[in-house]
Amino acid sequence: MKLFRALQAQGFGSRKACRLRVRAGTVAVNGVRCTDPDAEVDPASLELGVDGGLWPYRERAYIVLHKPAGYECSHQPTHHPSVFALLPAPLVQRGVQCVGRLDQDTTGVLLLSDDGQFIHRMTSPKKGVTKTYRACCAEPVTPTMLAALLDGVQLHDAPAPVAALACEAVDADGLKLMLAEGKYHQVKRMIAAAGNSVVALHRESIGAWALPADLAPGSWRWLDAEDLERLERTWPSVKS
């Protein structure tokens, strides 16, 4: 692969812009500055240095963002900043999309990718990929409320009651619940239908993959092969 094409594939601009970057001497290939945009590079072992920053070549982008409150999962936000403002420009340029969405006031695991098949696989209701949330409620969590969430509550846009796959209290006014679908505002609406309301909501995991404890709100990181494999397992039970 030619160097300028590798840069373009990683989101560093148009063909012309990438050629100019290389000729300007701001690009390194595995630590060695290169000024020839047509130099042949091996994507399998390529680490680009661009404007002083390191960028390992990745054919597809799979990342996790610890979404903070106050950000919308949209390229065209209406009332709050976009989550894409938290990412480096090359990731946005190469077209990463949110793998499902979180409300602006919901925090936690948000996956992004430019792999359409991966996005479909993770979001299709037929795949049954689970999502686990921790909710802080306005009123105490009661056994009756937990039973209602497990048995199923009626939502206005659902033909039949919707039930959590698992649900348990974690403290006096907090609970953890697992779903295998993602209707609009589903957790908030289910808890409202069970007689309570959500004060704060955090998505802890998708499938068998939990948000890393060391990933701070607003930060992101690449997902590796092990992460991707774990994402497609179904977490069998809710754990505290």
Write the pLDDT tens digit of every residue in 77-117. Answer: 888 999 999 999 999 999 999 998 899 999 999 999 999 99
Instruction: Choose the final residue of a domain: 56, 74, 89.
Output: 56
The backbone region for 11, taken as left when phi is positive above 0, alpha when psi lies in -120 to 50, beta otherwise, is left
Its domain, for residue 34, covers 3-56
Tokens coding 59? 């054919």
Tokens coding 210? 């939990």
> In this structure, are 39 and 88 located in the same domain?
no
* 190: CATH: 3.30.70.1560
pLDDT digits (tens, 9 = 90+) for 35-68: 999 999 999 989 999 988 899 999 999 999 999 9
In 3D space, the residue among 187, 173, 108 whose CA is nearest the CA of residue 142 turns out to be 173
Give the chain's end-to-end CA distance (angstroms, integer).
48
For residue 183, the one-letter residue type is: K
Q: What angle do CA 26, 32, 37 make, to 5 degrees?
A: 55
Burial 121-137 (b: 16+ CB within 10 A, else e): ebbeeeeebbbbbbbeb
Q: Assess if residue 34 is contained within a domain.
A: yes
Q: Assess if residue 239 is contained within a domain.
A: no
Active site residue ranges: 103
| Cβ atoms < 10 Å from Cβ of 119 | 18
Are the CB atoms for 79 and 69 separated by under 8 Å?
no
* 35: CATH: 3.10.290.10
Question: Which phi and psi (to 5°) does residue 88 adopt?
Answer: -65, 145
> In this structure, are 198 and 226 located in the same domain?
no
CA–CA separation, 167 and 104 (whole Å): 24
> In this structure, are 108 and 218 located in the same domain?
yes
pLDDT digits (tens, 9 = 90+) for 193-227: 999 999 999 999 998 899 999 999 999 999 998 89
